[in-house]
Amino acid sequence: MTTMMSAATTCTQPLLEAKHLQLSYGQQVAFHDVSLPIASGEIMAIVGPSGCGKSSFLSCLNRMSDLVPHCHVQGEIHFNGTNILSPRTDTLLLRRRIGMIFQKPNPFPLSVWENLALPLREHGLVKSQTSRRAFRQAIHQAIEAVLRDVGLWEEVKNRLHSSALALSGGQQQRLCIARALILQPEVLLLDEPCSALDPLASAVVEELMLRLRPRYTQVVITHNLAQAKRIADRIAVFWVQQHKGQLIEVGSTQQIFNAPTHELTAAYVSGGKG
Amino acid sequence: MTTMMSAATTCTQPLLEAKHLQLSYGQQVAFHDVSLPIASGEIMAIVGPSGCGKSSFLSCLNRMSDLVPHCHVQGEIHFNGTNILSPRTDTLLLRRRIGMIFQKPNPFPLSVWENLALPLREHGLVKSQTSRRAFRQAIHQAIEAVLRDVGLWEEVKNRLHSSALALSGGQQQRLCIARALILQPEVLLLDEPCSALDPLASAVVEELMLRLRPRYTQVVITHNLAQAKRIADRIAVFWVQQHKGQLIEVGSTQQIFNAPTHELTAAYVSGGKG
Amino acid sequence: AKPPQAANSEGIKLQGNIVLTGSSTVAPLAIEMGKRFEEQHPQVRVDVQTGGSSRGLADTRNGSADIGMVSRSLKPEEGDLTAHAIARDGIAIILHSENPVAELSPEQVVDIYQGQLTQWSDVAGGPTSPITVVNKAEGRSTLDVFLKHFDLKNSEIQAQVIIGDNEQGIKTVTGNPNAIGYVSIGAAEHSIGRGEPLKMLPLDGVSPSTTTLQDGTFPLARTLNLVTQGASEPTAQAFLQFAQSPQVQDLIEQQNFVPIESAPLAPSTP
Amino acid sequence: MSISQRPGLTVTALDRLLGFAMAATVIAVGLGFCWILGAIVAQGLGQISLAFLLAEPSNAGREGGIAPMLVSTLLILGVCLAIALPLGLGTALLLAEFTITDQRLGRLVRRSLDFLAGVPSIVFGLFGNAFFSQVLGLGFSILSGGLTLACMVLPLLIRTTEEGLRAVPPSYRQGAAALGLSQTTTLFKIILPAAVPGLIAGLVLGMGRALAETAALIFTSGYVDRFPRSLMDSGRALSIHIFDLSMNIPGGDARAAASALVLLTLLLLLNLLAGALAQRWANSS
Amino acid sequence: MQTFEMSQLSSLRRAHRRDRILRHSLRLLGSITGLLVLLITLFVLQEAWPALQNLGFIRFWTDGSWHPLEGSFGLMPMVLGSGLIALGATAIATPLGLLSALFCQCYGPPLLVVPYRRLLELLAGIPSVVYGFWGLVVLVPQINRLHPPGQSLLAGTLILSLMILPTVALLAIASLAQIPSSYWQGAAALSLSRWTTLTRIILPSARSGLFTAVVLATGRALGETMAVLMVCGNVVQVPSSVFDPVRSLTANIALEMAYATGDHRAVLFVSGLVLLAIVAGLVVMAEGISNQGMSSESVIVHER
Ligand SMILES: Nc1ncnc2c1ncn2[C@@H]1O[C@H](COP(=O)(O)OP(=O)(O)OP(=O)(O)O)[C@@H](O)[C@H]1O
Ligand SMILES: Nc1ncnc2c1ncn2[C@@H]1O[C@H](COP(=O)(O)OP(=O)(O)OP(=O)(O)O)[C@@H](O)[C@H]1O
Ligand SMILES: [Mg+2]
Ligand SMILES: [Mg+2]
């Protein structure tokens, strides 16, 4: 499992870079002209008021926007040097390498165990063992490890085989995080991962994100400015202007909180009570 | 519209009181032996780790638990002196008087306008006017007022007649709050109303809750301890012990934060990073 | 030649509804007769329903129909009903036109239907291919007539295909060069006339056609009947007379049946 | 790096197989349909003219037109839907939304329906004749034909609507309940519109079945090829006309094909109409 | 306590009244449906009664052949015929219908999907005579060339599978349409292959709808008459290969009912009764299977 080491060397070229990105739903432009480089290994937090296009932006980065009808993306996104918006991109591979966690938890209508075992088996992440039992054992270990990572193991270990839909909201969200992590992607996109979590669980997830920092590149949307402050290396601020989302400022966490250049940013970080 | 004045006089008897309440899903007990009086006009915050039964508790208070198959509630809940768990309770009226906002925003698959007009018309809250136009006008006024209350008016005024499902997560949540408010209930149950909101929108909702304080009794689940501190009059702390949820402490906000009696509470409020 | 209006000039104004139910073979003819009858008696409505001879018998008995249509002669146990023959229909053995066999003796027909002759090569001039025997379903009057003529029992017959209506038989044979079947002469003539690959075999040396049927030389025939129970109303009575009168001969011929009175054609003028 | 983790060969092969099977199915079904349709068009198209649509039949249908059959068909369909839609919708609602309380009745009704779906149409015809025509005294009439058809399409309508209803997310019901909305409002304003896809599927299938039905109509709405004057009159449906022309009338094939073509066009129009109406309802409520 | 305005109280009362009416009328409608089934069964039973009384029930299973006019009433070959045709047709139509539905609902380009859907809808509305007619003049001669006589189990199965395909496909489309998009998104984000997404997540979620589709289609296949009558050959025998003609119970009724009287008519109703029994068996079996598969997922329902 752990043989797959990350390539998170601090190279100067960004791992993931949006260039003049614009997304529209039908006629309505959700955001436009967003250029944002994301360096390998960093945690980039995206903040901004509701409806400014944060989720939409995130969904471009692994081409999830393809799934939304009438959704149209313009511009370029470079990942490891290739433009992933090109139609030739293998989206299966792309999404395997760029994992995503959604704003609303969306476990599959399967058991907790199957929710995790499914992607594991699908991607052949557990080496096929000599016996079926050993194979199952290996899967079990992987599942236990990742559930411990997200702090869910104790809560669900007795109900691994009952439906994931019967978990509480926070439990579901942590399960979804575990599901994304189990694939060990290079980049993790997190859309408000802690919004359904209590402080203890939030802390677990934050800790986890920090622990993953050297190995994974993470882009996280959060409404919790304190959280952004705690975990992010850099922060990008989105805003709605003339009914279109826009990236108004991006900078290191320190700079954004202590010396914002944009007045809206200043108002936001000071007014934000998160 | 505003003739319906609340009876929020500060009487000694609690408006809503749970007595030895226990809820189980099939065999599994979600929480047990919860006794919690809620005074008229106060804001009661419920906090606690994920899965401790907060949402389940809330759903008993307006009998939403009826909708979950195999869900069994024992004990008593008194509202204005009558036990609402009695089978003779008129649930339509009860829920009309005790409004609820859910953890996941759940707007109807209708237009924004219809989401709000439907409950309005259903409950005859807008007096039937002489003409159809005047009636529509009255509805429009009520809708505009409540959308302004939740800070959504500016964002949606141009798309009142397009589907509510196309709103962003935060917009949906605010719409759901508006939908509950438009009925002007006596009690509002809020299940993490701000978890999908950015700080600005959160602040709007918090302000709103404070503004509603004298008129409405509010029970709010939150994971954000800072928020609880800011808005709540009293705080109830739930915890999981032996796989069952329990009320471990209830007290004024001050007391809970400054002089918690239970050690778990102490750990929670100090460790909470929200 | 259309019969003139005053054909039925007894002076009584006929009115009311007549309901006919029964055989689907007779129904199209009855409809056309009904239309002409309505023309002469604008107050009368003739409703024709199908559902099979058995339905015609049953409905006439229980009174839900005024007249039944039956595509066979009445059986002895049906003596409570009165039959009014309106037309005759012949039955011909048919082959695919590619089949070189030109004639089959009655014995050969019997052998083929009993499954003793299974190859066309066993018949003079026949190709080397197996015979597909097409038979009618139990109860059908064509089957009754066929069985009676060849003195067969239905349980002795070894068929490969069992059919219902005439057209199904014709389509089965036109689609299968090795098939042998039997259908109503009128239907077969009509199909041959339209150039479908079909031919009728002579029986006892008489080639089947509406002409030989009409002059009584062709042996395999059945009667199409209208049946009633007891005394019928004047309107129904009038219709029965009308249906047996020369005024409808052209209609009978149009539907490929043979009028009953093969004898001198009555002049169609009063 | 993780490029080596490309999904295993078997998976992509299965995916490709799936895509291939899908394409093959679509092509095969499309071809099969075109084959049938081609045969109908080749035989029937030449017969179609305005006169064919507007005239009454003569010479047992070999000449003239099909106007009375068109009228009868639409009337029969109208009666059928007028009965089956409310009955079907009501039963579907009962099954999908009230089964907890009416569990016994629900299970019984659901079983009955699946059973009803398998009853051969000729049995429906005989039943319709015995019950509607004779016991209820409707005789051979458009009314008894429509009623019989309603019994036939009921299971299709109900089961599809029920599935549609079951698939509506529970959060809508929760939301409605929390607002104290009455069940009536919840069902008719929120749940039913959300279940429209299932409803349309049922409607489309039901109409197709109703328009295509022969055996059940021969014994009920009858064989009379005149313009009906009322619902109590007998009237020949297009499908029966087609059946009669192709199976009973020598030389009726071309006319049968032409009538079938008209029937299919009619069905296409009705389907489009149903889809549009249902969509409007879903959007407007 | 709060003082309600009259309009609100009366609207509440109205809501209760409406709900009560709704509940009662729904129950009434449901009962009508149930009653219909009872009526039909009773009707068939009544018509079949004379035969059952005269001949007993055993005769229909033990008699070697079907010659009702000559006193032998073996139904067994036809039961087998009906079963085989329906089974074959369902076995062909189910995968084809499912694939069609997936094409329409999930993967097909919209430009193709819309006409293909219309095509399926039209297939559902082609009268069975037309199918039968086409089968008789086009399909049967083709099969005849392979193996005479052409009218056969195979022809019936093929025609019937084409006929019930739209039922499966359209119902499956409807149930696939209801899968929450979050499942698709979740699967895509985990870059699950189509195969896994479908077989592990989507199809299981749509299970109940798909199951209904297959049950209804099988019912239709069992009950179909005209097309089967025209292409199956209708010989009462136990087929030894797919090229042998067979007779289904429905064809039996349609072929002979028109000319049957007295006892003959009654024994035809017995074959109808047997068919109903088969359908009933199928339904009970289906219920068993579908209940087995149901997990205790949290479903929200209405209260009383
Ligand atoms: N599927 C859709 N169709 C049409 N419009 C959409 C769709 N999804 C989002 N939008 C609109 O696009 C804009 C940006 O939405 P987005 O979900 O990206 O916002 P967000 O920044 O994530 O907000 P939040 O913090 O509330 O989640 C909003 O105005 C929203 O209403
Ligand atoms: N429908 C259900 N069926 C079975 N178990 C359930 C159901 N809903 C909740 N539970 C279980 O009951 C317990 C309490 O759940 P609840 O949703 O009340 O927690 P919560 O305190 O609201 O958590 P969170 O903060 O994560 O939302 C959990 O263990 C949960 O898994
Ligand atoms: Mg968002
Ligand atoms: Mg909760």
Domain range summary for chain A, segments of one domain joined by + = 7-269
Please check whether residues D157 and D30 belong to one and the same domain: no
What pLDDT is attached to residue D181?
Answer: 87
Q: Say how many CA atoms lie within 13 Å of C116 toward its Cβ.
A: 7
Using an 8 Å CB-CB cutoff, list chain C residues near D225: 31
Q: How far apart are CA E178 and CA D80, in angstroms?
A: 28
Which two tokens mark B106? 């759940």
Q: Which of B73, B43, B162, B77 is nearest to B113 (CA)?
A: B162
Asked which of D11, D32, D47 is the last residue of a domain, the reply is D47
Over 70: is that where the pLDDT of D138 sits?
A: yes
Kindly state whether residues D69 and D183 are assigned to the same domain: yes
Nearest-10 crossing angle of helices D103-117, E207-223: 40
Q: Is B56 in the pocket of ligand 2 (CB under 6 A)?
A: yes
Nearest atom, ligand 2, residue B58 CA: 18
Distance A183 CA to ligand 1 centre (A): 28
Summary mean pLDDT of chain B? 85
Q: Is A259 in the pocket of ligand 2 (CB under 6 A)?
A: no
> Which residues face A221 on adjacent strands?
A46, A191
How crowded is the C-beta side of E195, counted as CA atoms within 13 Å?
Answer: 18
List chain A residues with CB under 8 Å of E180. Answer: 106
Residue A130 has a pLDDT of 72
Whole-number pLDDT of residue B23: 94
Return the CATH number at D93: 1.10.3720.10
Q: Are residues D38 and D150 in the same domain?
A: no
Q: Which residues of E touch B70 (CB under 8 A)?
A: 296
For chain E, which ranges sit under pLDDT 50?
Answer: 1-4, 293-304
Neighbours of chain A (3+ CB pairs under 8 A): B, D, E
Residue A26 alpha carbon, nearest atom of ligand 1:
4
Examine the domain organization and report whether D72 and D171 are in the same domain.
yes
Could you tell me which residues come within 8 angstroms of residue D4 by beta carbon, excluding any fewer than 6 positions away?
none
* CA distance linking residue B237 with residue B249, whole number of Å: 5
Q: How many Å apart are CA C42 and CA E23, to the nearest integer?
A: 52
**Type of residue numbered C244:** Q
Give the dihedral sign, CA D93/D94/D99/D101.
positive
Question: Separation of A194 CA from ligand 1 center, angstroms?
Answer: 19
Co-location of D151 and D210 in the same domain: yes
SS3 label, residue D58: strand
CA distance E280 to E299: 28
Kindly give the parts of chain B with pLDDT less than 50: 1-11, 272-274
| D234/C47 CB distance under 8 A | yes
pLDDT of residue E97: 95
Q: Which residue, C67, B197, B29, is CA-closest to A223?
A: B197
Q: In this structure, what DSSP letter does residue C158 have?
A: -
Q: Say what percent of chain C tops pLDDT 90.
A: 40
> For position D284, what pLDDT does the model report?
63
The three-state secondary structure class of E176 is: helix
In single-letter form, the type of residue at position C75 comes to K
- D239 and D168 belong to one structural domain: yes
Residues 6+ apart with CB under 8 A from D202: D88, D156, D157, D158, D159, D160, D161, D164, E174
CB of B23 within 6 A of ligand 2: the answer is: no
Enter the tokens of residue E253. 């009724």
What are the chain D neighbours of A93 within 8 Å (beta carbons)? 3, 6-7
Q: Given this model, what pLDDT does residue D148 score? A: 94
pLDDT at position C4 over 50 = no
Say if the Cβ atoms of D115 and E283 lie within 8 Å.
yes
Q: Which residues of D touch A122 (CB under 8 A)?
A: 7, 11
pLDDT at C92 exceeding the cut of 80: yes
B55 lines ligand 2 (CB under 6 A): yes
pLDDT of D236 > 90? The answer is: yes
Q: Tell me if A64 sits within 8 A of E185, measured CB to CB.
A: yes
Phi, psi (deg, nearest 5) at residue B25: -100, 105
Helix D238-247 to helix D253-284 angle, to the nearest 10 degrees? 160
Q: What is the pLDDT of residues A187-216, one digit of tens each?
A: 999 998 887 777 777 888 888 889 888 788
Question: Does the beta carbon of A3 lie under 8 angstroms from any beta carbon of chain D?
Answer: no
Residues D81 and D175 reside in one and the same domain: yes
Query: What's the CA dihedral at A129, A133, A135, A140 to 10 degrees?
Result: -150
Tell me the H-state helices in A99-168: 112-122, 132-149, 153-156
pTM recorded for the entire structure: 0.82
B43 lines ligand 2 (CB under 6 A): no
Residue of A168, A195, A200, A205 best suited for mutating to test ligand 2, as the one with most atoms within 8 Å of CB:
A168
d(CA A256, CA A229): 9
CATH number of E59-303: 1.10.3720.10
B214 lines ligand 1 (CB under 6 A): no
**Pairwise CB contact (< 8 Å): B92 & D179:** no
Note the pLDDT of residue A273. 39
- Domain region containing D170: 52-284
Min mean pLDDT across B256-265, C123-132, C255-264, E155-164 is at: C255-264
pLDDT value of position D101? 55
Ligand located closest to A155 CA: 2
SS3 (DSSP) at B192:
coil
Instruction: Judge contact between A167 and B101, C-beta under 8 A.
Output: no
CATH number of B7-269: 3.40.50.300
Helix (H, G, I), strand (E, B) or coil at A191: strand
Average pLDDT, chain D: 85
Low-confidence residues of chain A, pLDDT below 50?
Answer: 1-11, 272-274
Task: Identify the residue with better confidence: B20 or C8.
Answer: B20
**For ligand 1, is residue A52 a contact (CB within 6 Å)?**
yes
CA angle A170, D175, A223 (to 5 degrees): 40
Q: In what order do the strands lie in the sheet with B234-241?
A: B82-83, B71-79, B16-25, B28-38, B244-252, B234-241, B43-47, B217-221, B187-191, B98-101
3-state secondary structure of D155: helix
| Helix, strand, coil in percent for chain D, rounding step 5 | 80, 0, 20
Test D100 with E33 for CB contact under 8 angstroms.
Answer: no
Shared-domain flag, residues D134 and D263: yes
Q: What is the pLDDT of residue D283?
A: 67
Tell me whether D184 touches chain A (CB under 8 Å).
no
Distance CA D130, CA E272 (A): 15
